[in-house]
Each structure stands twice: as C-alpha cells, then as structure tokens.
Structure 1
Amino acid sequence: MDFHVTSKDQPTPISHGEDPSTSTKTAQSMVTCMYQVHVGSHWRTVAAVWTKNIMNHSLTIFVDSIETNHRQNCKIDLAPWHFWGKKSCKTFEVDGIQIDVYWDLRSARFSGSPEPCSDFYVALVCDEEVVLLIGDLEKKVHKRIKSQQSAANALLYFKKEHVIGRKSFTTRAKFDKHKKDYEIIVESSMLGPNDPEMWISIDRNILIHITNLQWKFRGNQTVLVNKQPIEIFWDVHAWLFLNPGSSHGLFIFKPGQANLDHDKDDSSQDGTEENNDSSSNTSQCCLFLYTWKIE
C-alpha cells in the first residue's frame, strides 16, 4: 500500500483538548488517539486521527496552538494509487515553531482497524528532538533523522475508536504506558437460551458475561487485568431498540489505581466489586469504544 501527504493551509478551529472527530455522525472505522506532548516549551494536546471508509483511508495529525484557538494539522492519505509517499516527511508550523512529521508505512500491518498494529512509525520532531513517536520502529526513526528522544515523554491519555460489525467488535488498548497492548473483544448474541446476551473479553479471557441484555443494556463492572482494576461501562440500548446502523453502543474502559488494598487479596482476574474511586494516574489511558452494529 502506498501513501500520499496533503496539508491544509488554514488551521482547524477546535478548542483546546477537544477531540477533532467528535462531530462525526456517520458509521465509519475511526481511531482517535489524544496525547500530551511537550512542544516549544509548552505541553500541548496532539491528536492522531486514523480514518477509513469506502472512499478514504488517512491519518491526520492535529497540534494545539497556545496563542490562538486553532489547531494546525497535517494529513497523510493512505492511497493505493500514489507510489511515492509511503515513506516521506512534511513540515508545518504552530505558533511559529517548526514541526517535522516523518513516517514510514511501507510495511505497516493492519488487523481490521484503520490504525496499524505493527511495523510502522510516525514521528513528530521539534528542535531536533522526537517529541512524539507512534508505532514500534523506534530504532529506525532515530537512524533516519538522527534526533534524540525528548526528555519530556509524550503521554497517551485518551483513545476513541469507532468499530463496525455484526456480532463481534475488536480493538486494542494500552492501559498503562509501561505495559503491553491488550486485545479487547465485545461479542453479542440476539438469539439463544439467554437471549439476548453479551461477552467482554480481554486477551481471550471472558471477564464480563451479561444475560437478559434487554434488561441490563446499561451498566458497569470492575475487573482485574494483571492485578490492575479496569472499570468497564456499557450502554447498548441502540443495539436492542434502534434500527441497525442508526446509532452505536458505547463501552468505556477506565483504569483505576493498581495498588488498592482490596485488590491485593483478590487472586481472581474476574473482579466484580464496585470501585468508587477509580481515578487514573498520569500514566493511564482511557478507552472509548463506539460499536456500530450492522445486519
């Protein structure tokens, strides 16, 4: 697959910290990752938005302006008819600060999401420092641009994904920046002995099983994943009572504190106790999963 880059001359008017994809109303595969990145002596919000539909597959990088209520952006089109842009770079400015975007998507692997899962990188460089690195080819980044990693590490704090499916929805999430990506699968059945019902699995372990879903279409439960509490919220009213494709189910995965005393005595991975104080620390990422069910 080949790639082509374009950019917009005018900045995008989005308020600070706002997800630039929130105005999307149509069902399409989309992943939005929000980062805190140290650029030009300020911490700024940087959003990476991967989008795929019938006509388009692209990545857009948005960078907050401190001086104005706008975001500058750089768009990379993952277009199969362009042969020269699969490894390239682009330069733009935010508040007079030059930002270079380097990428290599020649060998990128995809697993059903518009966001690659491995063998790629997208790097933001400012003042000869890599201030944000997306992907798993860190050595190739530094070899190519001969820059040093920034002393202030970027932080992924928010991920939002729209997934389209019939009975099963899959995504990946990193709940702690020091740990691996977890595979998350949401499955449903509208027919069966416990009709309708739903399962939520993390790394192939079923942690939540809801029967009689027509009465329990909204709820929350705390589970333990490698001794870390994850509070899971769900709302699948649209699956049961609205026309397919007209709206979505919503799942929120919110990491809690890993050192809570009541978790130490629970050896099960399937915790069910209520977590009244699940505020996450600065190294944790909250996942919002929007599931569009089609027939």
Structure 2
Amino acid sequence: MSHELVEAAPFSIPKSPSAEKVCQEQETDKAAPQSAITFVYQAKLAELYCNVTATWCKNHTSHSLCITMEKPCQNNQCCTCKIDLNSCQFWGKKGLKSFEVDGRRVDVYWDFRQAKFSSTPEPCSDYYVALVSKQEVVLLLGDLMEDAYKRTRSRASSEEAKLMYKKENLSGKRLFCTKAMLEEGKKEHDIVIETSLSGPDEPEMWISIDGTVAIRIMNLYWRFRGNETVMLNDVPVEIFWDVHDWLFSSLGTSHGFFIFKPCRLDGDYSSGSPSQYNSPKGSSSSTRGFCHFLYAWKTE
C-alpha cells in the first residue's frame, strides 16, 4: 500500500490541449483511435464535495489510468493515483493505493484482470475501479459492481457521484468517432463526424448521432464556426463546432473543437476554449449540466 500526495493545477473547465501530446498512432481512413479520455465527476466525501478526474491514456509505449481528487476551492493541492494498465504481470492488474484528502483517507481499489478493451484507452467491460472512504464507495467505475462492493466491504455512498464533463482527443483523416452521454440514465450515443475538405466541391462536414445525420454543414469556408440544436428523443442537444484550423492551418498543428451538451449552452465559446457553462435554472438532472468536449486532430 502506498501513500501519494502530488501537487497539480487547480480544477478548471478544460482548455485547448495544444500543449498536450497527442498519441502518434497509425491511422486508417475509417477509424480514429482515441489517445486520451478524461471524465470529471463530483463526489461526496463525508460532508466534503470533491472533484474527481479520471484520465485514460494510451499510446505505443504506455497505457494508464490517472485518478486525481481535489477540493473545488483548494488551490494547487490535489491527490493523484496512477495505475499502469500495461503491466504484463497478471497480479499487477489488481491492486490498492491510498492517499489523504483534507485529512480523510481514500482507498483506490481496482481489478483489470479480466478487462476487455477495444480501440479506446477505456475498457469496454469486466473491470472496476472503486474509491472508498470510511466504508463508503464514493465513486465506482466499471461494470463489476458486485465484485467491487464485496472486495471493499463497503456500502454505496449516500449521494451518487455526478459526471460533470467528458473531454477527449481524437486523431484521424476524415472520420472521428466518439460516444457522448446525451440522455440521463441511458447508454452513451454513437457520434460520427465526417469531413470532405478537398476536391472540386466546397468543403462539407456531417455530424451523425446513432447512424442518422443530425447536422450537415455546407461551405465550411463560411461556416467553420457555429452551433445548432437538434432533437434526440425529445431531448434538445446543443452542438457547437469550430474547425477554422482544419481549413486555414497546417495539418497536425491544431485541432477542430466540438461541444455536445443536452439542453441550452450558456457562455462564450467563440475562442474555442470554454471557460464556463451553466445549467438551466431549476434543473436537477445530472446530465443537464453535462458537456462533452472533443478535440479532433486531422492527420495527413
């Protein structure tokens, strides 16, 4: 068992990841392997509300999960637990680490021995990661819930952790595939962004949800930045895009930026780096304040 306390930047809504390394993997025209996915939750630790960030990363040489826990009002202090998913030893895929948040001990349990993966850094099934404090599971990731509760000998938290936003980096040529939580209590929806930027016709872009084209943007030279609201099973979803750099910058030097959010977006996103977003007044739904931020890097 180890104790780790690491200083990090204070919590904030994600900015442009231009300084972050994007995984250099071989791409095909059909798929864009995801190199980094970040989920940010709000979890209740006793009477203390904390932000928990879970980042899954994968490239040619490494595959890891990094969990960071911090108080929203705390400056330059957080606790981090990093799990190596590339471990070739069977026993290394199950473990336990501990740290302290504001004097409270938090245990991180995980089991990836049977985990199934696809092209994304995040497992598809058969795993769990549990954050436990004082015999309460304050955050549980994965589908092996019974195994997690049995191993930790803990009960569910009195207040379920809420997903605040998801951020990811994708790289590809013409297609960018992702998943987004657009309806509370339901599975993530499949989203595909397809582009046609070269050829005799004007550049175009299509955004599809679950195989159906939701938005078609023609003449991107004039509509490289914009937003539209689409209806998904009677739920309004705001979609914002900014692909200026796809058209006017060198490939691989910058990214297209997208936001997918149930209900109405507030705030100024014109810079491509959202600084804040607000939920409609009176809304208590966990997905009402949820945003999916996507940074799409075009390759040759």
Separation in 2 of the partners of 1:228 and 1:193? 37
- Are the counterparts in 2 of residues 67 and 95 from structure 1 also a CA contact under 8 Å? no
- Is 2:243 the counterpart of 1:240? no
More off after superposition, 102-111 vs 10-19: 10-19
- Equivalent position of 1:129 in the other structure: 136
Picking from 32, 37, 40, the partner of 1:31 is: 37
Partner SS state of residue 191, structure 1:
coil
Compute the TM-score of the two structures, normalised by the length of structure 1.
0.84
**What is the root-mean-square deviation of aligned Cα atoms in Å?**
2.5
Picking from 53, 56, 65, the partner of 1:59 is: 65
How does 1:211-222 map onto structure 2 within 5 Å?
Answer: 211-222=218-229
- Equivalent position of 1:3 in the other structure: none
Partner SS state of residue 110, structure 2:
strand
Partner SS state of residue 179, structure 2:
strand
- Are the counterparts in 2 of residues 91 and 98 from structure 1 also a CA contact under 8 Å? yes
Paired residues in the alignment total 271
- Is 2:77 the counterpart of 1:70? yes
Partner SS state of residue 15, structure 1:
coil
- Are the counterparts in 2 of residues 14 and 20 from structure 1 also a CA contact under 8 Å? no
Unpaired segments of 5 or more residues in structure 2? 24-34, 265-277
- Give how far 1:177 is off: 3.8
In 2 relative to 1, CA 68–15 (structure 1 residues): closer, same or farther, beyond 3 Å?
closer
- Equivalent position of 1:283 in the other structure: 286
Deviations 1:83-106 (A, max 9, x none): 321122211211221111111222
Partner SS state of residue 55, structure 1:
coil
Compute the TM-score of the two structures, normalised by the length of structure 2.
0.82
In 2 relative to 1, CA 252–171 (structure 1 residues): closer, same or farther, beyond 3 Å?
same
- Equivalent position of 2:267 in the other structure: none
Unpaired segments of 5 or more residues in structure 1? 1-5, 258-276
More off after superposition, 242-251 vs 209-218: 209-218
Picking from 104, 108, 111, the partner of 2:115 is: 108
Give the counterpart letter for 1:64 in structure 2.
E
Separation in 2 of the partners of 1:110 and 1:238? 32
In 2 relative to 1, CA 234–56 (structure 1 residues): closer, same or farther, beyond 3 Å?
same
Separation in 2 of the partners of 1:140 and 1:61? 20
How does 1:120-159 map onto structure 2 within 5 Å?
Answer: 120-159=127-166
Between the aligned residues of both structures, percent identity stands at: 48
In 2 relative to 1, CA 165–57 (structure 1 residues): closer, same or farther, beyond 3 Å?
same
Separation in 2 of the partners of 1:15 and 1:278? 22
- Are the counterparts in 1 of residues 42 and 164 from structure 2 also a CA contact under 8 Å? yes
Separation in 2 of the partners of 1:134 and 1:72? 18
In 2 relative to 1, CA 196–18 (structure 1 residues): closer, same or farther, beyond 3 Å?
closer
Separation in 2 of the partners of 1:67 and 1:36? 14
- Equivalent position of 2:171 in the other structure: 164
In 2 relative to 1, CA 20–99 (structure 1 residues): closer, same or farther, beyond 3 Å?
farther
Separation in 2 of the partners of 1:233 and 1:179? 22
- Is 2:9 the counterpart of 1:14? yes
Separation in 2 of the partners of 1:185 and 1:30? 17
In 2 relative to 1, CA 23–142 (structure 1 residues): closer, same or farther, beyond 3 Å?
farther
Separation in 2 of the partners of 1:213 and 1:48? 34
